Amino acid sequence: MTARAIDLAILPGYARYRGQRFPCAVGRGGIGLKRAEGDGLTPTGSWRIGEVWYRPDRVAAPRFAGPLRRIGPRDIWSDDPRDPAYNLAGRAPDHPFSHEYLRRADPLYDMIAVLDYNWPLATPGMGSAIFLHVWRKPRHPMAGCIAFAPDVLRRILETWQPDARVVVSAV
């Protein structure tokens, strides 16, 4: 699995994109083969960005070349393998399964890019919601997502080409 010049290459602790190298955060379990929901791993592989979500009350919409969605107060993401809507967006408060709110008090989900890992057709238990999103701080471990400084994430999204991939490798 080799990254092309237009791809975003993710390695432990840093990323390469368009000739630049910058820090990123990956899953608390590191990078590897995904085994189960909640294993803390960022999955190895080559993934597309399916859609981008953003908080219009906090950030301007990124100029993204694909589907762009606004995060509202009731938007959630299902993380429950028992849910028929597992690994899909939904609406609260009427969602009876475990889920995560996309509208958070912290800035982590002010901009998120949904990778096509186990999405939109999900295998229950193989991991939900591998996002690119804003980090807490450099290299601070995530649950399995990939996180960046806000300005870096915006630059990635605004220069993204539809044929580019997020290429995640442990070496």
Residue boundaries of the structural domains of the chain = 8-168
Q: What CA–CA distance (Å, rounded) separates 113 from 23?
A: 18
What mean pLDDT do residues 140-166 have?
95
* CATH 2.40.440, domain 8-168, yes or no: yes
pLDDT 10s digits, 33-88: 988 888 889 999 999 999 999 999 999 999 999 999 999 999 999 989 999 999 99
Please tell me the least confidently modeled range out of 34-43, 86-95, 106-115, 153-162.
34-43
What mean pLDDT do residues 2-10 have?
86
Half-sphere exposure of 135 (CA within 13 A, CB side): 21
User: Is the full-model pTM beyond 0.85?
Assistant: yes
